[in-house]
Amino acid sequence: MVTTDRPRVGVLALQGDVREHLRVLTDLGADATTVRRPEELATVDGLVLPGGESSVIDKLSRAFGMREPIREAIAGGLPVYGTCAGLILLADRITDGIEGQQTFGGLDVTVRRNAFGSQVDSFEVDLDVPVLDDPPVHAVFIRAPLVEEAGDGVERLASLDDGRIVAVRHGALLGTAFHPEVTGEHRFHALFLDMVRERVR
């Protein structure tokens, strides 16, 4: 039986930095597990879409029969947190996807893939995230996307100094353009677990 103290949270394990998310979620007290098949998705209270290559995860999700179950779960209110590639997969719209690239959707945003350039253009910055209080979040951007437009109902959680949006929340969906799981920053995952526990209640 699932309890609100130890919710069962899956990490989509088709490609990307799966282990890092599992470690953070476990450290925060969740029952963290990998998800590769629809029957595994059906057992979790929340889902993390990890960083990686969004076009590859998209193709593998279709090959594994996961795309429609995830879309249906999102439509049904399943809390989902996407980091970097995961944010792209949550977006309703992509401005520069590869030919035929699809997303799971659900998040009313337009996202640009690789908005900051290639791997060599990766950078780190401290972000003010009022919903997480102090101190600032040390964020790592690796071939990161960017939220170019956000719908009226989307909460803008963090922006760069020039105003470009890099973290959002809308209902049960949370997305960051960066990788908190690789810097020891656990507060976004903790926020997500609060969202999961709220749904379990």
| Active site residues per annotation | 84, 179, 181
* Furthest CA-CA distance within the chain: 47
Are 127 and 139 in contact, with CB atoms under 8 Å apart?
yes
Could you write out the DSSP letters of every residue in 32-55?
EEEE-SHHHHTT-SEEEE-SS-HH
CB 192 within 8 A of CB 174: yes
Three-state secondary-structure class, residue 155:
strand
Q: For residue 193, what are the β-bridge partners? A: none
DSSP letter assigned to residue 90: H
β-strand 107-112 against 91-94: which pairing, if any?
Answer: parallel
With contact defined as beta carbons under 8 Å apart, do 168 and 150 qualify?
Answer: yes
For 43, the token pair is 């057992």
* Residue 170, beta-bridge partner list: 173
